[in-house]
Every structure is written in structure tokens, then in C-alpha cells.
Structure 1
Amino acid sequence: MLPISLALAGTVALAGAVAAVLVAVALLHLGPINLSAVTPSLADVLEIIKISLAVVAGIGGVVALVVGYRKQRVTEAGEAREQTKLYAERFDQASDKLGSDSPAVRLAGVHALASLADDWEGGRQMCIDVLCAYLRMPAAPEPNAAEDPDAHTRWQGMAEVRATILRLIAAHLRRDAPVPWHGADLDFTGVTFDTDVDFSDAVFPAGEVRFTGAEFSRGKVDFAGAEFSGSWVDFLGAEFSGGKVNFIGAEFSDGRVDFSKAKLSGGNVDFTMAKLSDARVSFSWAEFSGSWVNFIGAEFSGGWVNFLRAEFSGGNVDFEGAEFSGGKVDFSAVADWSHPPLGLPLRAPGLQLPASGPVSTGPDDCPSPHRPRPPQG
């Protein structure tokens, strides 16, 4: 994409140099020639002229190729600029709709942004960032339906906008998504999850997914069968105070999942049959005080699961039937062991228990028929 004069001059010079090299190589193969003894015939002269014209024609062909290639590149660059301009216009129009006072218009903006993210791979992350930013904006408190039914209806419409964003993101993360958003960065920092969200069979192969300070207070957030294989998923300081968060059958491998400083004070967090291998999963400084947290039948076969300074002060944390076959599961430096987990074996590969203190091993301390179970639903 140099200026055309320089491009052509460079092309002619290069083609001439190549022709000269080829002639020199041919003369070397012929050996030493006594030019004074050579009298060219008419046929020889014509042949030399023919070769010269062929060389000139070859150089002309190369020049034509360069001009054609440059024209194609210029055309493609112009089309790309025009396409980017159209994408930018669609982005502006969709973003403007998100600021409307009408829930219906906002819903149209959400779907427009999701559609643009599907079409515009180069701007996909920007569209996702806007959708996540909308979720992070504080939601208005629910008005009293009896006192102000119109305000309550409008509030329900705005709540549907947030729920729609979550559904669209979750749908694009599934294994069979027509246009997957796998590997995108997702920032749910401080978001309150008070409705059902289905992340089941989602794939998190890369990128950064933040639930930092998120609150899981109602409804069900479902990560059943999800794969956390190369991403950093951050639940730092998240609050699990109600509802259910489901990781049943999820696979944690070759990545990092951080529940550090999470507060599990209510509801149900379920890692039943989850597979934790070659990943770093941290529950450092987590507070297990009132939730039902199940690791029933989970497989710990590699990586490192760390409970550094975690507090087991209440609720029910259950490891019944969990398999410890490799890696490291470390309870050795917990801060509070007054209400230890159920079902932990006294010895298992990679399992490190506190040096002292009671351990509820499950069947002996709490027979299976009488073992408390989490609430259903």
C-alpha cells in the first residue's frame, strides 16, 4: 500500500534485476564466449529481439499484477471502512435505545446489541461490555403494586430487560450456540441475581468472568454441566444468601475459579458430581455460615482446592461420596472449624485436614438415613 509511483518503480526495478540475474545465469552455463568471433545471423537477431520483448512483456505483466492487487486492496479497505461505519451506526442506535424510558424500546435495544455482537466479531466484546454494564447499573426498588400499579408495571418491564440480557448471554455461551461468545470477558460485578438464569452446558474456555461482589438472593442460577477450562471465573466476595446456585456435573479444569471471601449464608450451592481437575479453585476466607453446600460425589483428581482461613461456622457442607484421587484439597489452615463438613474421609490422596479439631466423617457421626438434606427447588 505504498504510493503508486514508489510501488511501480520498485516493481520494475525488481523485475529488471530478476531478468538480469536469469540472463547472467544462462551465460554462465554457456561458458566463455569470444564475442569478436561471433557473427550473429538474422535469425539470431530476431531471436534476441523476441526474448527482449518477452522480458519486457513479463515486466509489464508484473506491473499489471501489482496495480490490480493494489486496486483490490484499496477496494477491500474501502468496503471494510464502510462496513465498520455501518456497524458503528447500528451500535449507536442500539445503545441509545437502552436509555429510553420505555421498557419495550430498551428490549429492542438489547436484542439489537446482541444481533450486532453476532454479526460484528471485531466489536463483539464492546457490545457484550455494554450489556454487562447495563446489568451493573443499580436497579430501582420494587414499588408497591397496590399503591402505584402503573409504576409497578413499568418496574416489571425494566426487570424483564435485565432478565433478557442474562438469557441472551447464557444462550450464547452454550456448547451448541449458533454464534458462540465463548472466551469473551463478562463482568457481572455487583449484579444481583434475583431471577432464574440458565448457564447450563456453558463453556468458559478463556477470558475473564467476574461475579465479584455479586449477590445470589433469589431464583436459580444454573451452571450444571458447564465447563470452566481455561478462564478466570471470579466470585470474589459474592454473597449466596438465598435461592440456588447449581454447579452439578460442572467441570473445572486448566483455569482458575475464585470464591475467596464469598459469604455462603443461605440458600443452596450445589457442586454434586462436579469434576475438579488441573484447576485452581480458591475458597480462601470464605464464610460457610448458613448455606447448604454440597460436594456430594464430586471428583477431586488434580489441581488445587484451597480453603485457607475459611470459616465453617454453620450451615451444612457435605462431601459424602466425594473422590479424592489427586491434586490437593487443603483444609489445613482454616480459620473456624466449629461446624466441619460432613463426609470427609480421615485420609485420602491430596486431602489435608486441620491438625486438630473434630471432623465429621459422615456415616459414623451422622448416619446416612438421618443426614440432613437441603431444601428442594
Structure 2
Amino acid sequence: MPRRDRKGPASRGRHTPRLWRVWIAGPLAILVALAAGVGIYILFRNLAPQGTAPQQAVPAHEVIRTTLATLAFAAAVLAGVYAYRKQRLAEGEAHRADENQLAERYTTAAEQLGHDQAAVRLAGVYAMARLADDWIEQQQVCVDVLCAYLRMPYETDPEASGYKEGEREVRHTIIQVVRDHLQPQAPTSWSACDFDFTRASFDGGDLSGSHFQATVHFNGATFSGGRVSCDGAEFSGDADFGGAKFSGGTVSFIDTEFSGGDVVFSHAEFSSSTVPFFRAKLSGGTVSFIDAKFSGGTVHFGAEFSGSTVHFHGAEFSGSTVHFHGAGFSGSEVSFLGAKFSGSEVSFDGAKFSGGDVDFSSAEFSGGTVSFHDAEFNGGTVPFIEADFSGGTVPFHGAEFSGGEVSFLGAEFSGGDVDFSGAEFSGGTVSFRDAEFSGGTVPFFSAQFSGGDVDFGAEFSGGTVSFRGAEFSGSRVHFLAEISGGTVHFGALFSGGTIHFGDVDFGAEFSGGMVSFDGAEFSGGYVDFDGAEFSGSEVSFGGTEFSGSEVSFGAVFSGGTVHFSGAEFSGGMVSFDGAELIGGTVRFENVRGVPQNWGPFHPSTGAAR
């Protein structure tokens, strides 16, 4: 804690005491003393027994003695007043002398900081720091001078005209002095001071373990080399890195705690540095990376987002490697609204989305890789609403969707590879409603749908969407979709749960493209094509095995080709009851076994009866 000033608040900056005039203070002191004496006399008289006989007259010498005693008391009071005034004036003179001495020390230290020789500048650094410790009321001014030195132009090229011998040592000494005064055990703490490093240049420095309780400005600062460590630091006030340039070296925030205030990295540029946030805690306030540019280097966010608001609105990921490995999103609001992923490698592998809101709405995935390998979605909301997947790779391999809500509402899949292979859908809600699959590849190879609610009420007009090897054993999966182009493969195992491919109000429409259930196995559960319309697609159930499910094809066949060539009806309940054959071709060549209800189809030709 900072030392308290020896003077009261009213005397700061003033060294002549405010004293009353003698002709006022003297009589007032005598009157106060006499009043006190009279009060004591009356008190004792009231305590005396009542009704006693009158005493004899007081002798003259007693009156004289009492008078002299009163005069002596008055003189003593006046002497005390005079002594007090003299002491106060002496203190004022001493304080004025101290102030003059401190001002002279300030001037000397400032002159030393501007000296040509590095050794003298180093002496100026220590002199200014010692002055900040001794001159509490001007401590902020002394700190401002040291920060201003770091904001001065800094030339690292020995051949350049502005190069100063030993300058790097001087600047690193300032950083070290600042760190020493920001430690919890510092004899004199500067933690309550503001620090302004605006547009300063850093090529190294150690601020680890520092406690910043006020505002810290790094906006426009350049981190060009070496290692700048903020490991274990605590920012409980505002920290501004807006527009900072991370162009080299390492800037480390390992175990750093942002517990209050706003932390701003808006418009910052990460072009070459390594910036780790391992185990950092963002538990309060707002952290902003709005319009930040990640064009190179490596940024690690293996952090815990437990109560803050973190914005990546409009951020551009065009070349950096950005890791959110194992990050925990348990209560924060984290937004990538409108972010652009065009070339970076961004990893959410193993991240845990257990609460709060992580928003990728309107984000653009046009290049690079954004990976969600083994991520856990078990709470909170993760929307990809109207996101644009036009290039690059977005793998969800092994991701687990066991709770919360993940929405791809209105998203557009027009290119690239969005891969859900091996993903597990066991709870919560995952929605692709109104999404458009017009290009690229979206595989769900070996995905497991064992619980929860998955909605594919989307439009498939191009590209390839494949469910080969997927297992539908318990989820409620809705394909109330429009399939007008591209290729959709359902070579899956349907062993339980409820799968809807149509509905009387929202029937799936197969109007183009290729939809394949070749090799699919329906061994349990309920699969519903009621109300679906096959009007132009090529839909194949070749080699499909219906061994235990209840499958209903109460659909409208008005065009295209639907063939069950080589299908096997060995168990379960397969019914075409309610189907309507208007046009197109339905083939049942080389089938084994028969459905329970052929509906309008001839058992061998598939033609209308």
C-alpha cells in the first residue's frame, strides 16, 4: 500500500500554516481558560452541602494571591499559544525546504534522463523512482515521466542516426523498476497509479506478477522482439491494447487475470509475435478484439471464459495460428459475429462449451482451417446463424453435442469442407434449419445420433452431404428438407430413435440431385417419409437392409427415379401405405423379401397397380 502523506489533505502543496492572528488568538485563549475555570468553580459549589452558615469575609491577601495566580495562568496560556504558532511556522518552513529539495531532485533526475550517456540516464531512472517513493503527492507525475521515456522514439539499428548506445538497457531498467513497484510485497506500491505506454516500443521486458489497479494504456504500442512477460499479472482496471502491433518476439499472458474493467485489443495487429494466454482468467468486464487482424504469428487462448464478455466482432483471421485448445466457455458471452476466417489455422480442439453464448453468426469461413476436434457442446448457446462456409476446412471430428443449443440456421455451405465425421449427438438441440448446401463437402461419416434433437430442415442444391456409416440410435432427427441438387448419401445404420424425412405440412422435397441410401441399414426405430415428395431427384435405396425398423413411405412420387434395387426386406415394418404415384419411376429389381404393405406399387415392376 502507498505510504500516507504526513500532512493532512488541506496542507498538501501549502507549507505556511493557516494560523489565526495574535490579537484574536490571545484573548480567545484567555476567555476559554477563564470559562473553563468558572465552570469548574460552579461545579464544585453545586456539590457543596446546602444550608451551611455563611463563611467569613475573604482576607485581602487571599484576593491578591488569587489575582496573581489568574494572571500567571493567562500568561501561561499566551505562552502556549505563542509556542504552538512558533512550532507550526517552523514545520511550515521545514516542509517548504523539503518541497524545494524534492523539486530540485525532480529537476536533476529529469536532466539525467535526457543525458547522452546511458550510465547517466540509468542513474536518472533510479533517481526518479526513488523520488516517486518519497514524494507521494507527486508520485503519479514521477511515474508519468518514466512512462513518457518509453514513449520516446526508439531506434534499434546501430547504423541509424537516432541510435543511442545502451538505450535498450535503460528502457528495460524502467520496465523492471515499474514491475518491482507493482508486486504485492513492494515497500512502496505504485499499483494505484495510471500507466500510459501509448505508442511505446517494446523489445523485451518483465511485468510478471504485477498488479494494475488503475488504467493501463498500451494502445498503439509496438511489440517487435524479445520477450515481454505479463505472466501472473492482475488487471483489475481498464487495460487498453487497442491498435497495438505484435510484430515479433513473444508477449506472454500466461496465468494473467482480467478481473474487472475493460480489456481492449480492438484493431490490434498480430502479424508475427507469439502471444500465449494459457490459463488466463477472464472473469469480469469486457474483453474486445473487435476488428483485430490475425495475419501471422501464433496466439494461444487456452483460457477460461467464465463471466466476461469477449468480442471478436469483425476480426480477420488471414494468416495466424490461433489456438483455443481446451478453452472453457462456462458463462461468458463470446462473439465472433461477422468474423472472417480466410487463411489462418484456428483451433477450438477440446474446447468446452458448457454455458454462456459463443456466437459465430454471419462469420465467413473462406479459407484456412477452423477446427473443433473433440470439442464438447454440453451447455449454453453456440449459433452459426447465416454463417458463410465458402472455402477452407471446418472439422468437427469427434465433437460431442450433449447439451445446449447449436444452430446453423440460414448458414450457407457453398465450398470447402465442413466435416462432422465421428461427431456424437447425444443431447441438446442442433439445427440446420433453412441452411443451404450448394457446394463443398459436408460429411457425417460414422457420426452417432443417440439423443437430443437434430434438425436438417435445409436446402440441398449442390455439393456432397454424406451420412455413410452414421448411426441413428436414439436422436430425433428431422430431414424436412428440399433436395434439389448435389449428392446426399445416407449409407447409415438406423437402429433406434425417430427419423423424419417428411411431414404433412413440411414434407421433404427431392427435386434434383442424387440422394443415396445405398448400404443403409434400418434395424430399429421409426423412419418417416410420409408427406415427402420425390419430384426430380435420383434417390437410391440400393442394397439397403430393412431388418427391424418401422419405415413409412407415405410419400408422393411425381418425378425422377427412386429405386430399391437389391434392397432386403427381412424384418421390421416397411409400408408404402398412403403413397401416391403420379409420375417418375420406382424400381424394385432383385429385392429380397417384401414390404408389409406395397401401397400403390406392383411388387415386381414398381408401376402403379
Q: Which has the larger radius of gyration?
A: 2
Partner of 1:185: 194
Higher percent of residues as strand: 2
2:190 partner letter: W
For residue 243 of structure 1, report the CA deviation from its aligned partner.
Answer: 0.9
CA distance in 1, matches of 2:298, 2:205: 19
The gaps in structure 1 that reach 5 residues or longer are: 146-150, 369-377
CA distance in 1, matches of 2:147, 2:247: 22
Deviates further, 235-244 or 159-168: 159-168
Partner of 1:373: none
Judged with a 3 Å threshold, the aligned counterparts in structure 2 of structure 1 residues 27 and 240 are, in CA distance, closer, same or farther, namely: same
Deviates further, 264-273 or 298-307: 298-307
2:206 partner letter: D
Partner of 2:212: 204
Asked if 1:330 corresponds to 2:334, the answer is: yes
> Aligned ranges for residues 26-175 of structure 1 at < 5 Å?
39-42=54-57, 63-140=78-155, 142-144=157-159, 155-175=164-184
Partner of 1:371: none
> Aligned ranges for residues 319-358 of structure 1 at < 5 Å?
319-326=324-331, 328-338=332-342, 341-343=346-348, 345=351, 347-355=353-361
For residue 49 of structure 1, report the CA deviation from its aligned partner.
Answer: 8.3
Partner of 1:2: 20
Partner of 2:29: 11
CA distance in 1, matches of 2:229, 2:358: 30
Judged with a 3 Å threshold, the aligned counterparts in structure 2 of structure 1 residues 140 and 225 are, in CA distance, closer, same or farther, namely: closer
Picking from 277, 286, 294, the partner of 2:292 is 286
For residue 334 of structure 1, report the CA deviation from its aligned partner.
Answer: 3.5
For residue 269 of structure 1, report the CA deviation from its aligned partner.
Answer: 0.9
For residue 189 of structure 1, report the CA deviation from its aligned partner.
Answer: 0.9
CA distance in 2, matches of 1:302, 1:257: 14
Contact 1:308 1:330 in 2 (8 A): no
For residue 25 of structure 1, report the CA deviation from its aligned partner.
Answer: 5.7
Higher percent of residues as helix: 1
Task: Give CA deviations for 1:12-61 in whole Å, capped at 9, x if unaligned.
Answer: 2333344445555666677999xxx9743257999998888777766665
Partner of 2:498: none
Judged with a 3 Å threshold, the aligned counterparts in structure 2 of structure 1 residues 40 and 79 are, in CA distance, closer, same or farther, namely: same
Partner of 1:363: 374
For residue 302 of structure 1, report the CA deviation from its aligned partner.
Answer: 1.7
CA distance in 2, matches of 1:47, 1:270: 92
For residue 290 of structure 1, report the CA deviation from its aligned partner.
Answer: 1.9
CA distance in 2, matches of 1:200, 1:134: 21
1:360 partner letter: S
Cα RMSD for the two superposed structures: 3.3
The gaps in structure 2 that reach 5 residues or longer are: 1-18, 376-394, 399-609
Q: Give the secondary-structure state (helix, strand or coil) at the position aligned to 2:355.
A: coil
Q: Tell me the TM-score normalized by structure 1.
A: 0.81
Partner of 1:148: none
> Aligned ranges for residues 297-316 of structure 1 at < 5 Å?
298-316=303-321
Q: Tell me the TM-score normalized by structure 2.
A: 0.52
CA distance in 2, matches of 1:281, 1:197: 24
CA distance in 2, matches of 1:104, 1:343: 49
Task: Give CA deviations for 1:57-96 in whole Å, capped at 9, x if unaligned.
Answer: 6666555544443333222222111111111111111211
CA distance in 2, matches of 1:270, 1:330: 18
Asked if 1:263 corresponds to 2:272, the answer is: no
CA distance in 2, matches of 1:119, 1:323: 45
Judged with a 3 Å threshold, the aligned counterparts in structure 2 of structure 1 residues 133 and 102 are, in CA distance, closer, same or farther, namely: same
CA distance in 2, matches of 1:44, 1:313: 110
Higher relative contact order (CA 8 A, sep 6+): 1
CA distance in 2, matches of 1:55, 1:189: 70
1:95 partner letter: A
Deviates further, 64-73 or 88-97: 64-73
Picking from 283, 290, 294, the partner of 1:277 is 283
Q: Give the secondary-structure state (helix, strand or coil) at the position aligned to 1:349.
A: strand
Deviates further, 303-312 or 107-116: 303-312
Q: Give the secondary-structure state (helix, strand or coil) at the position aligned to 1:114.
A: helix
For residue 165 of structure 1, report the CA deviation from its aligned partner.
Answer: 1.9
Q: Give the secondary-structure state (helix, strand or coil) at the position aligned to 2:103.
A: helix
Task: Give CA deviations for 1:299-333 in whole Å, capped at 9, x if unaligned.
Answer: 2222322223333333122222122232x232152
CA distance in 2, matches of 1:28, 1:44: 23
Partner of 2:256: 250
For residue 215 of structure 1, report the CA deviation from its aligned partner.
Answer: 0.5
Deviates further, 354-363 or 108-117: 354-363
For residue 214 of structure 1, report the CA deviation from its aligned partner.
Answer: 0.2
Judged with a 3 Å threshold, the aligned counterparts in structure 2 of structure 1 residues 289 and 54 are, in CA distance, closer, same or farther, namely: farther
Contact 2:326 2:352 in 1 (8 A): no
For residue 120 of structure 1, report the CA deviation from its aligned partner.
Answer: 2.2
2:289 partner letter: F
CA distance in 2, matches of 1:363, 1:51: 100
Q: Give the secondary-structure state (helix, strand or coil) at the position aligned to 1:269.
A: strand
May I ask how many residue pairs the two structures share in their alignment? 354
